[in-house]
Structure 1
Amino acid sequence: MRIVGWSGPRNLSTAMMYAFGARPDCAVSDEPFYAAYLAATGLEHPMRDEILASQPTDPEEVARACAGPVPDGREHWYQKHMCQHMLDGFPLDWAEGAAHVFLIRHPTRVVASYARKRELPSLADLGYERQLELHDRFGGPVLDSAAIRAGPDAALRGLCGALGLSFTEAMLSWPRAGHPSDGVWAVHWYDAVHASGGFAEPEGPLPELDGELRQLADAALPIYEKLAGRAAR
């Protein structure tokens, strides 16, 4: 089974990739369209040159690989994708027939977390609009990071049930310091999950945002709420 995980940045997407990567029957891939996205947009991201050198920049080539055989002879393949990487004109036919999972997080938390790693993002950088479009097209379970952190066992059992997979407690923890499938950008973005070894405890109150960061979170909130309305209860 190919499982396509759709997320914006700072949405527990790496933790979910690690959870599936802890299954002995599952291969994982980390943001295979990232270099193609940077090449097409010209955006200056941390470690841009290293990312461009580490992956194919032709989206058609990436799409063929994502539709290809499951790596390492595994039974399943979890592909972690950032919604904002799927630019207009990038192929999406590779995702037809796959199982789809959508990870969401309250935009106030996303903006606060993202801004600590990169300067003021745009609404497009956060991926909410594209995520809604992708869910309209493909459907699939929607999981809020708050629900995952409040009860990882229950959330992952429910997800596996929705996907038709057996649940294994191996998904609840992983080795510290990363996964062999990490993208080269892991050293910039993944420090917290590398140190964790498992899903973190529930988060506290929403952080305080001011100025442009507050405006950005407010712009994303209605889209998040629409997606949250599709999440399992």
Structure 2
Amino acid sequence: MKIAMWSGPRNLSTALMYAFAARDDTLVWDEPFYAAYLEATGIDHPMRAQIIEENETDPDRIASICKGPIPQGKAVFYQKHMTLHMVDGFDRRWMRSCQNVFLIRHPARVVASYAKKRQGATLHDIGFVQQVELYQEVAGWSGTAPLVIDSDDIRADPEAMLRKLCSALGLSFTRSMLHWPAGGNEHDGTWAPHWYAAVHRSTGFEGAEGPLPALGGAYADLVAQALPHYDRLAQLRM
């Protein structure tokens, strides 16, 4: 089984990848298209030059791995994807070989977290518009509603939501998914030192999140732009 988990940045995506990495039957791949996205768009990100140098930048080669035989003889290939990385011109036909799942998070939480790592975010940077577009695309060719899971629900009850997700995917749940060693994962991408400090300190999912952060100015405007896209998928969550 190949799972393509689609989210924007700061969506609990790394913690969820760690949960699947804790399964004996699963190989994970961290943001396969990140370097290709940076090279294709010219956008400036932290560690840009190193990411491009150390990772595959040909989207067709990446796609062939995503849809090809599962490496290392594993039964499950979990691919952590950012919606913004699937830029115009990248062939998306490989997605038809995967079970596509959409991980969402309230934009106020996303923007507040993203701003701590990279200033001046735009609507494009946080991936909400692209997430809805990809959801609609998958629903169109599959003829079914793709799975949607909300990070707030995972944080509120990790075991219940992971059991629900595994069941929907046709996988057995294992309690190993609830915990991982502190210090990172061998499959972390090049960019982990900049983005993954909090999850590297963790050994499992944190508890339920508190009130939404209060944001003002440009950040409040960004949340307002993203909110309709989040709300659209939130209505469909598991």
Would you call these one fold, judging by a TM-score over 0.5?
yes
Question: For residues 81-138 of structure 1, what are the alpha-carbon distances to aligned partners after superposition, in whole Å with 9 as ceiling and x for unaligned?
Answer: 0000000111111110311111100000100000100011110111111111111122
Aligned Cα RMSD in Å?
A: 0.8
Kindly indicate whether residue 209 of structure 2 is the aligned counterpart of residue 203 of structure 1.
Answer: yes
One-letter amino acid of the structure 2 residue matched with residue 197 of structure 1: T
Question: Which residue number corresponds to residue 180 of structure 1?
Answer: 186
TM-score (norm 2): 0.96
- For structure 1, which runs of at least 5 residues remain unmatched after alignment? none
Question: Which residue number corresponds to residue 10 of structure 2?
Answer: 10
Question: Which residue number corresponds to residue 115 of structure 1?
Answer: 115
Question: Which residue number corresponds to residue 124 of structure 2?
Answer: 124
- Write the distance in 1 (CA, Å) between the matches of 2:57 and 2:196: 23
Counting only pairs closer than 5 Å after superposition, residues 16-35 of structure 1 correspond to structure 2 as 16-35=16-35
Q: Secondary structure at the match of 1:78?
A: strand
Kindly indicate whether residue 70 of structure 2 is the aligned counterpart of residue 70 of structure 1.
Answer: yes
Q: Secondary structure at the match of 1:202?
A: coil
Question: Which residue number corresponds to residue 58 of structure 1?
Answer: 58
Question: For residues 116-171 of structure 1, what are the alpha-carbon distances to aligned partners after superposition, in whole Å with 9 as ceiling and x for unaligned?
Answer: 00011110111111111111122421111110000000000000000000000010
Question: Which residue number corresponds to residue 219 of structure 1?
Answer: 225
Paired residues, number = 232
One-letter amino acid of the structure 2 residue matched with residue 181 of structure 1: H
Identical pairs, percent: 56
- Write the distance in 2 (CA, Å) between the matches of 1:184 and 1:97: 26
- Conserved? CA contact 2:67–2:98, under 8 Å: no
**Distance apart, 1:25 and its partner CA:** 0.1
Q: Secondary structure at the match of 1:96?
A: helix
Kindly indicate whether residue 177 of structure 2 is the aligned counterpart of residue 171 of structure 1.
Answer: yes
- Write the distance in 1 (CA, Å) between the matches of 2:127 and 2:95: 18
- Write the distance in 1 (CA, Å) between the matches of 2:98 and 2:151: 22
Q: Secondary structure at the match of 2:77?
A: strand
Q: Secondary structure at the match of 2:97?
A: coil
- Write the distance in 2 (CA, Å) between the matches of 1:193 and 1:91: 32
Question: Which residue number corresponds to residue 155 of structure 2?
Answer: 149
**Distance apart, 1:69 and its partner CA:** 1.4
One-letter amino acid of the structure 1 residue matched with residue 25 of structure 2: D
Question: Which residue number corresponds to residue 103 of structure 1?
Answer: 103
